[in-house]
Amino acid sequence: MSSAPHRKIIHIDMDAFYASVEQRDNPSYLGKPIIVGGSPEGRGGVVATASYEARKFGVRSAMPSKQAQQRCPQAIFVKPRFDAYKEASRQIREIFKRYTDLIEPLSLDEAYLDVTEDKQNIHSAITIAEQIMKAITDELQLTASAGVSINKFVAKIASDMKKPNGLTFIGPSRIAGFMESLPVEKFFGVGKVTAAKMKNMGLHTGADLKKLSEADLRQRFGKTGSFFYKIVRGIDERPVQPYRETKSLAAEDTFSYDLTNPEEMNAELERIALLVCNRLSRYQLRGRTITVKIKYADFRIITRSRSFTEPLSSTETISQTAKALLASAMPFEKGIRLLGISLSNFGERNSLPRPSAEAIQLLIDY
Ligand code: DCP
Ligand code: MG
């Protein structure tokens, strides 16, 4: 480990978040198997989350609601109330702010906190995590689990170890052993495919990964290989980033053949405008700059943008402006393979609502 003083990082993750909010707000649900998500009657409904009572029956997030009902016929299905979850999320953040402004929300129910320096001079990250958990219980009647360590990676894995309502501290001297015993599927960025690939190579735990050189890891896993090399040695220098500026939100489509007919292009733009508008409203964002992206059959890309003093709000305006921008780029030398529309410049002027934590995360993923 380096000689620089260690950071103090807390990862907080709410327990059975949506289901706990439902149980709190409807006491008849307390102690019962609650499933928040789509109805098992309709088609395509999935479980958003399940109370711990329902999890005993094998009900899991993202499972088809029908299957969940088969596993737990007595479960009560509840429709999500996102406004209630957002409000709880906001309240949790208010509690975090008593200790630090270095808060990085990952979703409505999860955040990293850097308490290397804390506002109340408590100095102990464990004490701060305990106080936060207590405040969440006392003030919000919800529970959270916490992981405390010197970096984000270990703190996040730790918060999952004693769920629900548990605190896990992994100090510097325990990190090496902890990482060695960690199964490969727990590593950041290891999806099912990579995990299967690793197992085929006889790599099951951190200890197995640690035997490989950085060059070897890079050869096997590309750029992520270097990340594995560091992380398995407990090195994760990613800072806690309080508020990641949302850059842009886009929708685009690649066509099965190259478009040459302007009417067809306009029809596609209208469709894409609708898509982008749906996303904007889902993430509560409005942008003042609109950009149209055009990719020619030869893969050359051009863009045309326009900025406004007011945010573009209606699908109609976005669609009309996009078509005008497309027209400004005509005539086209080649057929068009892809069209896209993006909105950016989301600033807070005109008292725009700040994107929710969820939106920020989704946009980062995007
Ligand atoms: N969520 C969702 N769909 C998923 C996973 C999660 O809609 N596939 C929602 C519902 C969860 C919330 O996000 O309540 C938080 O996700 P978590 O993975 O943290 O799950 P929980 O908080 O529900 O449970 P846990 O106690 O395991 O953290
Ligand atoms: Mg959670």
Give me the CATH number covering residue 334.
3.30.1490.100
**Tally of domains within the chain:** 2
CA angle 31, 33, 35 (to 5 degrees): 130
Residue 110 falls in the annotated catalytic set: yes
Find the 224 Cα to ligand 1 centroid distance in Å.
Answer: 26
Q: How many CB atoms lie within 10 A of CB 17?
A: 23
Shortest-distance atom of ligand 1 to CA 109: 15
Domain with 210 in it: what CATH number? 1.10.150.20
Quote the tokens at residue 7: 């950071």
Find the 158 Cα to ligand 2 centroid distance in Å.
Answer: 13
The residue nearest atom 9 of ligand 1, judged by CA position, is: 48
Residue 340, domain member (yes or no)? yes
Question: Which one of the listed residues 22, 104, 110, 358 is annotated catalytic?
Answer: 110
Find the 49 Cα to ligand 1 centroid distance in Å.
Answer: 5
CA nearest neighbour of 290 among 320, 330, 253, 332: 320
Q: DSSP secondary-structure letter at 44? A: S
Assess whether 267 and 226 both reside in one domain. no
Assess whether 220 and 323 both reside in one domain. no
Task: Supply the pLDDT for residue 208.
Answer: 96
Residue 181, domain member (yes or no)? yes
Task: Supply the pLDDT for residue 189.
Answer: 67
Q: Which of 106, 109, 362 to mutate to test the pocket of ligand 1 (most atoms within 8 A of CB)?
A: 109
Instruction: Indicate if ligand 1 lies below 6 Å from the C-beta of 49.
Output: yes
Residue 90, domain member (yes or no)? no
Q: Which domain holds residue 323?
A: 248-362
Residue with tokens 């709000």: 313
pTM for the whole thing? 0.71
- Whole-number Å distance between alpha carbons of 143 and 32: 16
Give the CA distances from residue 141 to residues 20, 22, 68, 223, in Å, rounded to whole numbers and listed in that order: 9, 11, 27, 43
Identify whether the C-beta of residue 69 lies closer than 8 Å to the C-beta of residue 33.
no
pLDDT (tens place) for every residue of the chain, 366 residues total: 445 789 999 999 999 999 999 999 999 999 999 999 999 998 878 899 999 999 999 999 989 999 999 999 999 999 999 899 999 999 999 999 999 999 998 888 999 999 999 999 999 999 999 999 999 999 999 999 999 999 999 999 999 999 999 999 999 999 999 999 999 988 876 777 888 889 999 999 999 999 999 999 999 988 888 889 999 999 998 889 886 556 788 999 999 899 999 999 999 999 999 999 988 887 778 899 999 999 988 888 898 999 999 899 789 999 999 999 999 888 887 899 999 999 998 864 333 344 444 444 444 333
Shortest-distance atom of ligand 1 to CA 14: 22
Question: Strand 110-114 relative to strand 103-107: parallel, antiparallel, unpaired?
Answer: antiparallel
Residue 145, domain member (yes or no)? no
Assess whether 201 and 268 both reside in one domain. no
Burial 272-311 (b: 16+ CB within 10 A, else e): bbebbbebbeebebbbbbbbbbbbbbeeeeeebeeeeeeb
Residue 324, domain member (yes or no)? yes
Q: Which amino acid is at 328?
A: S
